[in-house]
Structure 1
Amino acid sequence: MKNYDDTISFLGQWGSFQQTVFFLLGVSIMPNGFGTLSLVFLTATPSHHCLVPEVNLSQDWRNAIIPIEVVNGKQELSRCSRYRLDVVENLSAQGFIPGRDVNLTDLEQEGCVDGWSYSKDIYQSTVVSEFDLVCRDQWKEPLTSTIFFLGFLCGSFVSGQLSDRFGRKPVLFATMAIQTVFTFAEIFSPSWTVFSSLIFISAVGQVSNYISAFVLGSEILTGNVRVLFSSMGVCVAFAFGYMVLPPIAYFLRDWKSLLLGSTLICLIYAPLWWFIPESPRWLLSQGRVEEAEAIVRKAAKKNRVEAPLVIFEDCIAYADETEMHSKEQHNIFDLLRTKNIRNITLILCLIWSTLNTGYYGLSLNSAELHANPYISSFLSAAVEVPAYIFCWVVVRYFPRRLSVTCLLLLGGVSLFLIQLVPQSLSDLAVALEMVGKFGLSTGAALIYIYTAEIYPTVLRNTATGTCSSVSRVVICIMPFILKLSVYFKYLPYIILGTLSVVSAFAALFLPESFGRPLPQTIQEMHKRERWVLKGI
């Protein structure tokens, strides 16, 4: 019985049909890059200090009522305290001058009982300023991003099962609708609790339609085009969506306007329903042969080739029954059953976690790199495009183990060096962070392919899904790691750099897969491990 790729080989690999699918699926992924990294601007914390109500104060006391604090070697107005208003009002009424007649350090302080005044120099408003996620409630700001990534984790678990049951195309557009509706609903959130609940559901939709688009493209496209789509196409589309975000956020500086813009971008893709087909592979697996044939015949007409009279004559269930039976006999525990496979699994989980945590950590931190957060965020997005192109080059020409090790070292060393840069050379610090982002972004794209090449067919999907899920769990704590900068400015860089260097050395103990056939069985995987021990 011929396999699916052989059966539809008459279509070719890069006709009008494949070009349309490649391009439109990439377009459908772009809103995910925009929506995911919009957290950079939605949860930004504007400069703020305690609000001083309109009371009878002299201008000297109004200027002095907010204490001065030293933060990272710089003097700033206190964000969470002020001198007691009733005391200051009494002193002002008596004609005392602050600093001359009164020693300010002797005055009692109080919290921001009247609320806060937020600077509008950069942002008109954010979720932080809307719901006052500062001072005692400042823990809610990183928790917002964590809740979003928990939605990613949940969506990763359910999307595969939904698309296996209901089809790739319906799940792609249904989850895109969920993303659109709940993103729009966030605009009307009356409280932080409601906003967090809505952003969780929106994140479930985002990651689900991303995965559905990835699977749909991988099943429709064949040969080198499938490799190009899987390794570079989806990543570059995500990066372009990310690149569009800073310019739009620059003009829409209000968080509600930015969410509305994100909603409108998602709505543009509704017409794609009539141009993106269902996966013929999935239809065949469900026994819907006539529908699969109709899609392939339409593709043949678009590619201007002649289709056979009967396309799927002996391919009613294109999936290999032996392979399916094998998958039923293997599960996640097989990744830990033997010492060698267990070591490989643990090392890969560490590397996956390091790369994805580094990617999202540097992306979320991009607004802190430069006085203008829109410029620094655009640079952070733009560096991903050459990173993913370089990943495609690496996949074609370079050994996997050495490549992953070098990329991790590049990212780790660059992040370590940032703390050595004088404050007068801030552009150099930005350049080093972009080099780190380049290395970790390239590695994050490469590790998908490397993992798939290491494990045998019977464990490949399980291993990739497990490593991805573990890394998403770790990503959930990333927003809190970034907040450690309040204790020491460079502490997040030190943590990410240390993880990268440790992971780089751990990668040296992985087997090489470049230029070798994919293992089909666990026995073949063990054989490859023996090659590593012998230095082959």
Structure 2
Amino acid sequence: MAEPAKRALDPIFDSIGDAGKFQVILVLLVSVSKFPVGWHQLSNIFLAPPITVTCGDPDNSTDVCSADCKEVIYDRSIFKQTIQMEWRLICDKKIYTSYGQTIFMFGILVGNVSFGIWADKHGRRIPFLFSAILQLVSGVLAAFSPWYWSFVFLRFLCAVATGGNMMTSFCLLMEIVGPSRREFFMGIVYQVPFNLGHAFLPVFSYFTRDFRLYQFSLSIFSVLFLSYYWIVPESPRWLMMAGRVDESVQILERAAVVNKKPKENVRPNVEEAVRARAARQELKKAKLFDLLKTPNLRRNTLCIFYNWFAVGFNYFGISEYTKNLGGNIFLNVVISALFGVPGVIVSVPACKYLGRKPTLLAAHSIITLCMLAFIFVPAEQSEIQVALTSLSVFGAATAFPTVYLYGGEVFPTVARNSGMGFSSMTARIGSMTATYASTFAAFGYWLPPLVFSSLAFIAVLLTLILPETKGEPLPETLEDAENYGKPRVQ
């Protein structure tokens, strides 16, 4: 008689538990690196804030953008020095501030891709540490840059490092935190520092008022992460998959002691998992274009891609648009940013109990309604405008972790990495193009909020097409994914 099949062994969680003291400490340490991620991605709000410019000619009647205007006077009552003042990015050069932010967001995309490849081949720890060093060096050097385009280039390198941090830190924690606590640690503890970092930006700007000191303050914080060389370990799961069993065992034995688990179980668990993996026939990998070959999977894939684009565009676009509202710019940004924190927190229980589809529909609907209502609010009622943009940031912050989870469950195992990688790319394209949203106001004050609202409304319509994935088994093959959401034949 054949031996009963043994249950699938997870050497990590069977050896050290799902989320013991070791994992809690590691999550808290790594999550701190999300503060500068939020700071650098949204720093343009105060690097290039709205400023008042007048012509200093004696008759005071010359257009500041006219060639006849020999002296430009900047209102320095709020900001002593901005990048517009430093490099005269006004009039026909005003668009350069948007170019710079677009290049920065492109750097995030480059960092996501390049560091993702590096981390897959050579582990999570070294790329993660290198991203911190590159973020520190390029960010600090940018603060002392004498030319605008060298400033943009150094910020691009800082963005590459920021994108690399996002990719490597997420992989490192996903591979060490067990499924029973993953929603809490990865959905809240890991994500909230980004939103808190956004909320702290006005504090840095308020006490510096100079873009160089502001840039330096945001960047020098990363010196803290140099100590992580001695603190943060390599992913034991990656080490095991790479055949470096002894190193994996060594880390897990230390973790087992911290978590008060018997370390004698570690090596047998790891070696058994390695043998089982070697004996198991791996699923044939699929490519990105395979997701578009069949009708149901193609529809779901395109809907997910658009959702990522819309969320990326609206979160970063609305966050930056807040600086153009009336009233106190520092207070406006703090209020809207803080609304992102409960947005992230709410997404976890909402996805768990209500489902992915209702949560995403609600998030996009909030943005749609708030931005539509914004169009009809007079500029003098800045408090209402700030309230509506803050609620929109809440909606976008709720949508981000939701669409991340949704995509991971719609794409099949054989193409999940490809699908999620391209999804992340569409979000970066959204954030790159979002930098121009504020400039649309030149054609009408109503145009930026209309764009935000329209993109969210289209996302609502496309989300209605998607199947609910809550409680459903993950699709393994392309055939599984094609049949996902279709009525089952009785």
The AA in structure 2 aligned to 1:331 is: K
Deviations 1:367-414 (A, max 9, x none): 122421111111122111100110011121012222212211111111
The structure 1 residue matched to 2:438, chosen from 475, 482, 487, is 482
The AA in structure 2 aligned to 1:230 is: M
Which aligned pairs between 1:436-451 and structure 2 lie closer than 5 A?
A: 436-451=392-407
Aligned to 1:290: 246
Q: Match of 2:54, SS?
A: strand
Q: Given the alignment of the two structures, is residue 222 of structure 1 paired with residue 222 of structure 2, yes or no?
A: no
The AA in structure 2 aligned to 1:80 is: C
Q: Given the alignment of the two structures, is residue 135 of structure 1 paired with residue 91 of structure 2, yes or no?
A: yes
Aligned to 1:65: 60
Which aligned pairs between 1:358-377 and structure 2 lie closer than 5 A?
A: 358-377=314-333
Q: Given the alignment of the two structures, is residue 233 of structure 1 paired with residue 228 of structure 2, yes or no?
A: no
Q: Match of 2:199, SS?
A: helix
Aligned to 1:13: 18
Partner Cα separation in structure 2 for residue 378 and residue 324 of structure 1: 49
Aligned to 1:401: 357
Partner Cα separation in structure 2 for residue 383 and residue 20 of structure 1: 27
Q: How far off its partner does 1:39 sit? A: 1.2
Which aligned pairs between 1:113-512 and structure 2 lie closer than 5 A?
A: 114-308=70-264, 310-311=267-268, 312-316=270-274, 324-327=282-285, 330-512=286-468
Structure-2 change in CA distance of 1:475 and 1:500 (3 Å): same
Q: Given the alignment of the two structures, is residue 25 of structure 1 paired with residue 30 of structure 2, yes or no?
A: yes
Partner Cα separation in structure 1 for residue 282 and residue 134 of structure 2: 32
Partner Cα separation in structure 1 for residue 143 and residue 280 of structure 2: 51
Deviations 1:86-138 (A, max 9, x none): xxxxxxxxxxxxxxxxxxxxxxxx443x3421111111111111111111211
Q: How far off its partner does 1:2 sit? A: 6.6
Q: How far off its partner does 1:224 sit? A: 2.1
Which is higher, the Rg of structure 1 or of structure 2?
A: 1
The AA in structure 1 aligned to 2:436 is: F
Structure-2 change in CA distance of 1:420 and 1:319 (3 Å): farther
Q: How far off its partner does 1:326 sit? A: 1.8
Q: Match of 1:308, SS?
A: helix
Partner Cα separation in structure 1 for residue 157 and residue 212 of structure 2: 18
Structure-2 change in CA distance of 1:321 and 1:246 (3 Å): farther
Identify unmatched segments of 5+ residues in structure 2.
Answer: 1-5
Deviations 1:33-53 (A, max 9, x none): 12211111112242112243x
Contact 1:176-1:209 within 8 A present in 2 as well: yes
Give the count of matched residue pairs: 483
Partner Cα separation in structure 2 for residue 274 and residue 510 of structure 1: 45
Q: How far off its partner does 1:4 sit? A: 5.8
Spell out structure 1 runs of 4+ moving beyond 4 A: 1-4, 317-325
Contact 2:291-2:478 within 8 A present in 1 as well: no
The structure 1 residue matched to 2:65, chosen from 52, 62, 80, is 80
Partner Cα separation in structure 1 for residue 98 and residue 452 of structure 2: 17
TM-score by length of 1: 0.86
Partner Cα separation in structure 1 for residue 137 and residue 12 of structure 2: 40
TM-score by length of 2: 0.94
Q: Match of 2:171, SS?
A: helix
Contact 1:218-1:229 within 8 A present in 2 as well: no
Partner Cα separation in structure 1 for residue 14 and residue 387 of structure 2: 46
Q: Match of 1:49, SS?
A: strand
Partner Cα separation in structure 1 for residue 318 and residue 95 of structure 2: 20
Root-mean-square deviation (Å): 2.0
Structure-2 change in CA distance of 1:375 and 1:316 (3 Å): same
Structure 1 range deviating more: 462-471 or 353-362: 462-471
Structure-2 change in CA distance of 1:307 and 1:402 (3 Å): same
The AA in structure 1 aligned to 2:32 is: V
Partner Cα separation in structure 2 for residue 322 and residue 433 of structure 1: 52
Q: Match of 1:315, SS?
A: helix
Partner Cα separation in structure 2 for residue 321 and residue 233 of structure 1: 37
Partner Cα separation in structure 2 for residue 10 and residue 500 of structure 1: 45
Structure-2 change in CA distance of 1:43 and 1:323 (3 Å): farther
Aligned to 1:91: none
Partner Cα separation in structure 2 for residue 44 and residue 369 of structure 1: 11
The AA in structure 2 aligned to 1:479 is: T
Partner Cα separation in structure 2 for residue 121 and residue 323 of structure 1: 68
Q: How far off its partner does 1:180 sit? A: 0.8
Partner Cα separation in structure 1 for residue 165 and residue 281 of structure 2: 27
Contact 1:231-1:446 within 8 A present in 2 as well: no
Q: Match of 2:32, SS?
A: helix
Q: Give the fraction of aligned pairs with identical amino acids, expressed as a percent.
A: 27
The AA in structure 1 aligned to 2:463 is: A
Structure-2 change in CA distance of 1:158 and 1:322 (3 Å): farther
Partner Cα separation in structure 2 for residue 460 and residue 303 of structure 1: 32
Contact 2:111-2:163 within 8 A present in 1 as well: yes
Structure-2 change in CA distance of 1:134 and 1:452 (3 Å): same
Q: Given the alignment of the two structures, is residue 48 of structure 1 paired with residue 43 of structure 2, yes or no?
A: no
The AA in structure 1 aligned to 2:61 is: I
Q: Match of 1:120, SS?
A: coil
Aligned to 1:92: none
